[in-house]
C-alpha cells in the first residue's frame, strides 16, 4: 500500500510542480491573490439553510458535479474529502478561480500545503502579516483527506458560478462543477 501511495504522490507531483510554476510565473507575486472567489459579489456566508447538499470530493472530481440553487436560497453544504489528497471546495466564478490559482500554488510551493496534508499552524502564523497565507475565506473550504466540513451560503447573485478545487493541477484535471442559479 505504501508503494502505491508513494507512486500516486510522485505522479501527482509530476502534474502539480509544472502547474504551480506556471501559476507563479503568471501571478506577479503574492499581491491581491486573496480573492478566494471575491465572496462579496457572489453571495453571503451564513443564514438559515433551506436545505442541505452533501458533496463528496474524490481525487479530481466531485459528486455531484452539478447543483442548482434558487436565487436568494441559503444552502448548507456538507463536504467530505474522500480522496487521498488535499482538496478545496471553493464557490466562485470561473474568473475568480483563475485568480485564486496563484495563491494556492504559492501555498503549495511554500510547503503550507502538501499533496496529502495541510500545515494549518504554519498558515495561521502568517495571518494578518504582509504575506498572509491563511486560507479562511467564507466561500472556501480547504480539507485534508478524510475530513468533513460544512459551509452555509446564500446565493444572491445572477453570476455564473461553479465550485472548484484550486490546488495546482486539480482544476485543470476537471475538478470543478456547475452551480446553476435558477
Q: Tens digits of per-residue pLDDT, 1-47?
A: 444 444 444 444 444 444 433 333 333 333 333 334 446 689 999 99
Cell reading at 116: 496529502
SS3 133: coil
Task: Quick: pLDDT tens for 109-140.
Answer: 989 999 999 998 888 888 887 776 778 889 99
CA angle 120/112/130 to nearest 5° reads 90
Q: How far apart are CA 178 and CA 62, in angstroms?
A: 11
Cβ–Cβ under 8 Å, residues 125 and 50: no
Amino acid at each position: 500500500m505504501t508503494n502505491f501511495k508513494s507512486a500516486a504522490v510522485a505522479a501527482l507531483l509530476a502534474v502539480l510542480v509544472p502547474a504551480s510554476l506556471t501559476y507563479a510565473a503568471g501571478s506577479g507575486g503574492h499581491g491581491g491573490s486573496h480573492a478566494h472567489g471575491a465572496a462579496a459579489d457572489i453571495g453571503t456566508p451564513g443564514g438559515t439553510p433551506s436545505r442541505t447538499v452533501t458533496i463528496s470530493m474524490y481525487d479530481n472530481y466531485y459528486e455531484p458535479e452539478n447543483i442548482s440553487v434558487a436565487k436568494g436560497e441559503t444552502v448548507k453544504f456538507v463536504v467530505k474529502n474522500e480522496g487521498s489528497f488535499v482538496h478545496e471546495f471553493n464557490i466562485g466564478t470561473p474568473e475568480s478561480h483563475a485568480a485564486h490559482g496563484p495563491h494556492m500554488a504559492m501555498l503549495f510551493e511554500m510547503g503550507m500545503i502538501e499533496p496529502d496534508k495541510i500545515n494549518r499552524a504554519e498558515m495561521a502564523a502568517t495571518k494578518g502579516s504582509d504575506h498572509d497565507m491563511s486560507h479562511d475565506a467564507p466561500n472556501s473550504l480547504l480539507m485534508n483527506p478524510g475530513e468533513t466540513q460544512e459551509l452555509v451560503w446564500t446565493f444572491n447573485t445572477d453570476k455564473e458560478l461553479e465550485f472548484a478545487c484550486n490546488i495546482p493541477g486539480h482544476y485543470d484535471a476537471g475538478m470543478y462543477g456547475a452551480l446553476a442559479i435558477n
